[in-house]
Amino acid sequence: MKHLLKLLDLSGEEIEELLSIADQLKYEHHHDIPHPILAGKSLGMIFQKASTRTRVSFEVGMYQLGGKALFLSANDMQIGRGEAVQDTARVLSRYLDGIMIRTFAQSEVESLAQHGSIPIINGLTDFCHPCQVLADLMTIREFRGGLKGLKMCYVGDGNNMCNSLIVGALKTGMSMAAACPKGYEPDKAVLDFAAGYGERFLLTDQVLQAAAGADVLVTDVWASMGQEGEAEKRKKAFAGWQINDEMVAAAAPGTMVLHCLPAHREEEISAKVFEAHASEIFEEAENRLHAQKAVMVKLMGQKNENKYKL
C-alpha cells in the first residue's frame, strides 16, 4: 500500500489492517499514551474544496503523531494558477513526506500519485471519500464487534459517499443495499465492481426494500458541495428519501444510524432519528481522526515500528 487513492485499490485485508491500527491509536489517545510515530515528518494538505472535519482531523492527527501539517489552499498555490499537477507533485515530493488532497476530480489525485514520489491520501473527490468510510467501518466494528455478515443500507444520492460505502462494505464481508432515486445512481465503475458480489449487493429505488433487515442505516446530504445550484431540484427528487421512524422500523432491531455530517435535519434524516443515534454519529465523527492517523502511520511511518505491523 503506497497511497490511499480509493478503496477500490485496497484488499479487504488491507482495510481491516487500517481499522486495527486505528483501534490501537484510539486506545492510546484515550489513555494519554503518546505515539509520536511521525516525529519530524510533514504532511501537505491541499484544499480545493473547503472542509471542517477533514482539515481539523488531519492537522490534529499529524500533531498527535509528532509531525507537522501544512494547510495549502489552492488559492495560494501555483496549482490554482495553471501549474501542471505533475509539476506540483514533483516539487512537493522534495519538501514533504506525504500529501493529503481534497478536490473535485479523481484524476487529479491519481495524477499526483503517478508523478510524485511520496504517499498521496485522498481527503475527498467527487468520485469517492475513502477516509470517511474507513471511519464508518471503524465505528461499526466498535459497536458491533465486527463487520462480516452485517447488512448496510445507504439511502440517498449515489455520490462519493455511496460509492465508497459500497466498496468498503463488500470488501469487508458485509452485504450492501443502496436505495437511490432514478437518475442518481452510483458510479458505473462501482456498480461493475459490485456486480461481482451477486446477491450481497442490491441497488433499488425502493427505500423500505433496501432498509429491510439492515444492521446499519447510512445517509448523506441531498446536495453535496458544488451542487448548491441543484438544491431545489434535488429536494423534489429526494422527497420521501429520509431516514425516519418508518425506515428504522423496517431495519433490524437495534439498527445503527450513521451520517458523515454535516446533517440537514428533516431533509435526509429526521431530527428525532438523528438525536436518537447521536452517540453513534459523533463517535463516527471522532473516528475520522483515528482512521486518518492509521492511514498516515501506514503510509508514512517507520517500517521498523513493529507495534503497528508495518
Would you please indicate which residues are annotated as catalytic (active-site) residues? Answer: 102, 129, 132, 220, 260, 288
Annotated binding site for L-ornithine: 160, 220, 224-225
Which strand (E) or helix (H) includes residue 256?
Answer: strand 256-259
> 5-40: buried (b, 16+ CB within 10 Å) or exposed (e) per residue?
bbbbbbeeeebbbbbebbbbbbebbeeeeebebbee
Annotated binding site: 51-54, 78, 102, 129-132, 160, 220, 224-225, 260-261, 288
- Half-sphere exposure (Cβ direction) of 166: Cα atoms closer than 13 Å: 33
Helix or strand or coil: residue 161?
helix
Q: How far apart are CA 95 and CA 98, in angstroms?
A: 9
Taking each helix axis from N to C terminus, what angle separates 278-300 and 53-64, rounded to the nearest 10 degrees?
50
Which residues fall within 8 angstroms of residue 206, CB to CB, at 6 or more apart?
179
- Known binding positions for carbamoyl phosphate: 51-54, 78, 102, 129-132, 260-261, 288
| Cell numbers that stand for 42 in this block | 510533514
